[in-house]
Structure 1
């Protein structure tokens, strides 16, 4: 009778086929196989087997590598309020879900053009041993409304890269330009203050003109003209006093 034993490289025990154990083994006519009932990323590794026949242990096989994937999706992208001392008017952050194995590629695009400047990537391993990525992109200049950012993540677990987008809108007044003919909010404010000053000055001038017109009104009086200058209906002579 032939017995086949499986073990994981780096572990000093054989895999057991117990009812409450996630691993089971079996022997077939052409060889042996084992099944992992509830696979987790910790099961990744190289598995080896050896056959025992009539008490004699045969040579080990070359081993079979098992890699358990955990996808970094869904991705999340958010904007972060700039710090007081920061000169960046816009900071957006792309975050992955916990994934395995460690290797990945993360790429930023701005309006479909790849961008590589002002990008920071932080990678950490959580308590379960999975990896998480946080990547931030900072814009030093104000960003026009309608600008679209894309965070793209490639990983061996994904048939197609994971994608998440962020669009700048006018609802973010601190981030976007005022697109009324490209006038910035500061310029609009300066124009408003200047117009208000002109209106106030015009009001002062009007009040001053009124005071000049009515301060010393023209005095009117009637005088009797000499009889030689009077006509049949009489005459009025306008004089100033």
Structure 2
């Protein structure tokens, strides 16, 4: 059986390498390494504006990761920007929402990471708390700079997430926003301060989202779960 192909959504940023300093489509290497380490083949998915592109891409994938990144445009959930909300990318929002539409229609396994979880909540008609420290009174979820916050998390018994990572774990977080409402999803894990740290769609389809960064951990149970679901999806699709 061939290794399942996992699409990874990407940033589009000004970047420097070698003699070059220009716009680039990029993603931290840890995502691709984690997919490869768990048996998948990673494919980067830069934002595409072409109508029908998301459907064409999803037809060729066995699984999808909506990666971390900048804040979601507050207009997507009918909110005014908080003073700390910044850097949203309308092109990336549109592309990833189109990918989520196509993935839902195809029953494709999906994992959302950090911003990915927030976008998936918005895709379902939900909303975000735009600056979590206003609610919890601390900045442990995102200490600033390139440092990940270490956050204890407790999973909800019986969920996909609990089955993949266990009852409790300490995770690496880098989010100043969080999910406020999530229609159609169930809570799968929370931090000690009550912040929703994971959610999933009920049923048999692997559709899971987490606020933390599983690609940075030695235990990549969530990505392993996605790759297993993607392998099963590929077999089922070939049998149709």
Q: Which of the pair has more CA radius of gyration?
A: 1
Give the TM-score band, short-chain normalised: under 0.3
Question: Is the helix fraction higher in 1 or 2?
Answer: 2
| Structure-2-length-normalised TM-score | 0.20
| Structure-1-length-normalised TM-score | 0.20
